[in-house]
Structures are given as C-alpha cells and as structure tokens.
C-alpha cells in the first residue's frame, strides 16, 4: 500500500479529552486539554502541553497545582464549551460543582467520574506553541459507582475520546482483549 505524507502534524489517534482546572484570582477556571498522558508509574505523573496564553495555564504557574478531570460522554457539550471559550471572556467558575483535596488549590469537578489532583513538578519550554507541564498525581478520586473491583471502569465512566485535525468526538468502542495477556497467543513469523 502506497503511503501519502501528511506533514509534521500532531497526529496520534485517538486522544483523551480532559478538563484541567486551576484557581485563577481566587476562582476555579478550566480548559479542555487533549495533549495529555501518563508519563511515570511511581510516583504517578502526568504531562500535558498547554498554551501559556490560557487563563488556566497562568493559574497553574502561579499556584503550582492543578486538577485533571475526566468527563463522561454526557458532558460532551460542556467539555467543548470549556475548550471554545476562555476565562478571559466567560466565567467558567460556576459550570461545575467544585470539590477540593489536600492541595486546597486544585479545583476538581464533582460531575466528572475521575479526578486527579496534581502538584506541578516541572514546566518545560520547548520554544513552540505549548509549554509542557509535568504534574505528580498526589491523589485520585472516583465515585464507587464507576469502580469495578476497586478500579476505575472506562465503561461505567462512559469516557469519550477525541480525533484531532478532523475535530470529532467518539464514545468508546467494545472491549477487545486483556492487556499483558493477548500477546501470549501471538505467534511471530519465522
Ligand atoms: C477538544 C479540545 C482540545 C484542546 N486541547 C488543548 C490542549 O491540549 N492544549 C491547549 O493548550 N489547549 C487546548 N485546547 C484549547 C483550550 O481548551 C481553550 O483555548 C480554552 O478555552 C482555554 O481556556 P482558558 O483561557 O479559560 O484557560 C483544546 C480545546 C478543545 C476544544
């Protein structure tokens, strides 16, 4: 099959969709972040690419804490709204029910099935459009109804994912296998 080159673009599919929160001038503010992922097991760390011009980003730099909130597919409209409109022009502090954890300054969203409370450990400037923020996950929160055997269950949480460049959201498909298990059936070509 012949391949077409598509250029140097942020193409990795799908991407998670998260709502990242920080306090700004004493009020919670949120931005939608898709450039995000777990980057360390122990201590648990998350890294994200966020533009310094965002209001939320400024709050993260000031307080050195932030939250990562995983919305369910029922929250697709408010999630997109948060990513469309800046706290510069709209008040996003009343969109959600807020709760706080041990850091006190990382506002978390009650309506999101999973919340990660993070302390900023490093900010890296790559000279591009976005800065890299690395946060240690100091605590995580999930309601009992979204757990199976004590672990967050993506089916119960009804998470959704994002397709970059064509700007589409998708709900999760069916489970197709077990990790660290399916590979045992695989027979490599000799
Ligand atoms: C689906 C989606 C994904 C986004 N992902 C990112 C991202 O990874 N990094 C980023 O800096 N901005 C991202 N944005 C843009 C910000 O969420 C947006 O500019 C937001 O309004 C900033 O809000 P604030 O200025 O109130 O902090 C995304 C927006 C959408 C709709």
* pLDDT tens column, 50-91: 999 999 999 999 999 999 999 999 999 999 999 999 999 999
User: What is the distance of C-alpha 61 from the center of its chain?
Assistant: 17
Would you say residue 89 lies in a domain? yes
Would you say residue 5 lies in a domain? no
Would you say residue 3 lies in a domain? no
Q: What is the CATH number of the domain that holds 84?
A: 2.30.110.10
pLDDT band per the 50, 70, 90 thresholds, residue 96: very high
Q: Which residue owns the Cα nearest ligand 1 atom 9?
A: 50
Would you say residue 4 lies in a domain? no
Ligand 1: centre distance to CA 176 (Å)? 31
pLDDT band per the 50, 70, 90 thresholds, residue 92: very high
| pLDDT (0 to 100) of residue 8 | 95
Ligand 1: centre distance to CA 83 (Å)? 4
Residue 46, C-beta contacts closer than 8 angstroms, at least 6 positions apart: 36, 37, 38, 39, 68, 116, 118, 134, 135, 137
Answer whether residue 43 shows pLDDT above 90: yes
Would you say residue 157 lies in a domain? yes
The total number of structural domains in the chain stands at 1
Would you say residue 49 lies in a domain? yes
| pLDDT (0 to 100) of residue 33 | 98
Residue 23, C-beta contacts closer than 8 angstroms, at least 6 positions apart: 29, 59, 63, 105, 106, 107
In degrees and rounded to multiples of 5, residue 151 shows phi and psi of: -120, 145
Would you say residue 6 lies in a domain? no
Do the Cβ atoms of 102 and 85 come closer than 8 Å? Answer: no
Mutate to test the pocket of ligand 1, among 46, 53, 54 (most ligand atoms within 8 A of CB): 54
Answer whether residue 180 shows pLDDT above 90: yes
Could you list the residue range(s) of the whole structural domain that residue 30 is in? Answer: 15-185
Q: Where are the alpha helices (DSSP H) in the chain?
A: 55-63, 76-84, 154-157
Give the integer Cα–Cα distance in Å for 58 and 47. 16
Per-residue pLDDT of 102-157, as tens digits, reads: 999 999 999 999 999 999 999 999 999 999 999 999 999 999 999 999 999 999 99
Would you say residue 8 lies in a domain? no
Residue carrying structure tokens 């450990």: 121
pLDDT band per the 50, 70, 90 thresholds, residue 46: very high
pLDDT band per the 50, 70, 90 thresholds, residue 190: confident
The neighbour count for residue 68, using CB atoms within 10 Å, is 25
Q: Which residue owns the Cα nearest ligand 1 atom 19?
A: 83
């Amino acid at each position: 099959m012949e391949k077409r080159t598509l250029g140097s673009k942020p193409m990795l599919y799908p991407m998670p969709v998260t709502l990242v929160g920080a306090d700004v001038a004493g009020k919670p503010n949120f931005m939608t972040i898709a450039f995000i992922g777990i980057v360390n097991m122990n201590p648990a760390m998350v890294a994200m690419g966020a533009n310094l011009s965002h209001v939320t980003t400024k709050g993260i730099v000031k307080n050195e804490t932030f939250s990562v909130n995983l919305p369910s597919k029922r929250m697709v409209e408010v999630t997109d709204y948060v990513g469309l409109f800046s706290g510069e022009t709209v008040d996003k502090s009343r969109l959600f029910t807020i709760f706080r954890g041990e850091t006190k300054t990382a506002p978390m969203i009650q309506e999101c099935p999973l919340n990660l409370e993070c302390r900023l450990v490093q900010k890296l400037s790559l000279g591009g459009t976005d800065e890299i923020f690395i946060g240690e996950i100091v605590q995580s929160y999930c309601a009992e109804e979204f757990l199976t055997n004590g672990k967050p269950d993506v089916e119960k949480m009804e998470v959704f994912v994002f397709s970059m460049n064509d700007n589409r959201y998708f709900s999760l498909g069916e489970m197709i296998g077990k990790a660290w298990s399916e590979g045992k059936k695989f027979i490599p070509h000799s």
